[in-house]
Structure 1
């Protein structure tokens, strides 16, 4: 669980709700079914038009990374690679065959299988880098789904406010309805700007950072497996890969 994301979410809600209370609007003043339909439903509609189905599904799948990021212990991975390199030097590359099926990460399992099969190091690098770049591209496109929603939401909030003011203008002859109508109109603006800046845009930025971190983890794996395939000394491999710890 990412504590900073949890704390940030709680503080965002506290800031919005607390600010509404302190300003005298009250929590009930933030509720508006019309604003919800215009901003939230409208934002979802806009992003569905923009996004391919596969990308949207991937975005929904990685959304949980904001609170439960994929974790990889780099120190443990380096130790495992060094151990594999020692095994390969003692028993040959086929000595790692038993390790292949034990790997839960498809990327790591595929790379280790290629090493065991005796592929040329340059071929292993090319194939793994193509897969790594493809996955990074797919995940980045998924993260941009939330970025796109963060762009659309404020605009739809303005649309909601304009529609609300249009309704107010129709009731100018009844002053008792003006205050409530204007307040309801600006609620849509709060929905749009609030959802974008307190949720959607921070989510997109967080996911992009996690995707970059995951790519670096895979770069570590590639370098380690290539070193094993080349028969490098385990100590040299460890010294090189320790650079990824910082």
Structure 2
């Protein structure tokens, strides 16, 4: 699990509450049930209205991907593909059928199965690339949903503040209550802006980043399988695949 998202969100909330305390406030003063319900449920409702039921149901899986996504390990994937290339070079493509049992990556396993079944290289590439395109579209929609929530939340918070100020105006005859009521009215705006910039927009950005890493890994697999199917020299396969790695990863591998 990549802890960056959890640590980042926690750090942002710590900064907010530290600032609140240093200014003489109390954390409990912003945990008011009405604004919390309005901002979070209202934001979800607005996003739901702008999407489909399937998008909303998929929100749980999106949360899991954001919080539990594993950092990509392209170097390890390259090593696995090179070992498969060596085996195919020595024993033939059909020998990979037994080696597939040890393959963990489902996309790599699917590609190997297509190659073993004798699928034409162009058709094989087209099938796998179509799956990559479908994944890009699905991930883009998931990120768009969080981005939409980040756009709705501040406005929903302002609606809550307006509702609170209406309540303030209804109690002008009781000056002793006005300070508390006005402060409570602005809590909704606080949660709207804070949830947008600490939760929803960072989650959208993280989904996009996770998708980029996963797509890059899938493209690495496609290149590897095409070379294995063509019977390329394993050393050449390794060089080609490492040239696709990010500069930092390539340098790290060379240093090793």
* Interval of TM-score (by shorter of Structure 1 and Structure 2): over 0.9
Match of 2:114 in 1: 114
Q: C-alpha separation between the residues in 1 aligned to 2:112 and 2:59?
A: 29
Task: Indicate how the Cα distance of structure 1 residues 71 and 99 shifts in structure 2: closer, same or farther if over 3 A, else same.
Answer: farther
Aligned to 2:251: none
Deviation track 1:133-158 (CA, whole Å, cap 9, x = no partner) reads 10121122112221111111000000
Aligned to 1:164: 164
C-alpha distance in structure 1 between counterparts of 2:199 and 2:68, whole Å: 16
SS in 1 for 2:68: coil
* Contact residue 108 and residue 221 of structure 2 kept, 8 A: yes
| Deviation (angstroms), 1:244 | 2.7
Q: Equivalent residue for 1:228?
A: 228
Instruction: Supply the distance in 1 between the matched residues of 2:97 and 2:182 (Cα, whole angstroms).
Output: 70
Aligned residues: 246
Q: Deviation per CA, 1:44-83, whole angstroms, max 9, x where unpaired?
A: 1112222223333333213223332234421111111111
**Does structure 1 conserve the Cα–Cα contact (< 8 Å) formed by 2:2 and 2:71?**
no
The gaps in structure 1 that reach 5 residues or longer are none
1:43 aligns with 43
Q: Which 4+ residue blocks in structure 1 deviate beyond 4 angstroms? A: none
Using the alignment, how far apart are the partners of 1:159 and 1:30 within structure 2? 17
Alignment partners' CA distance in 1, 2:70 and 2:56: 19
SS in 1 for 2:244: helix
How many angstroms apart in 2 are the aligned matches of 1:166 and 1:196?
24
Given the alignment of the two structures, is residue 131 of structure 1 paired with residue 131 of structure 2, yes or no?
yes
Distance (whole Å) between structure 1 residues aligned to residue 73 and residue 28 of structure 2: 46
Q: Distance in 1 between matches of 2:61 and 2:3?
A: 20
1:178 matched to which residue of 2?
178
TM-score normalised by structure 2 residue count: 0.91
Task: Quote the residue 1:32 is aligned against.
Answer: 32
Deviation of residue 104 (structure 1)?
A: 3.5
Instruction: Say yes or no: does 1:211 pair with 2:208.
Output: no
Does the Cα contact within 8 Å between 2:87 and 2:95 map onto a contact in 1? yes
> Matched residue of 2:25: which SS?
coil
2:90 alignment counterpart: 90
What's the RMSD between the two structures over aligned residues? 1.5
Q: What is the alpha-carbon distance in structure 1 between the residues aligned to residue 111 and residue 243 of structure 2?
A: 21
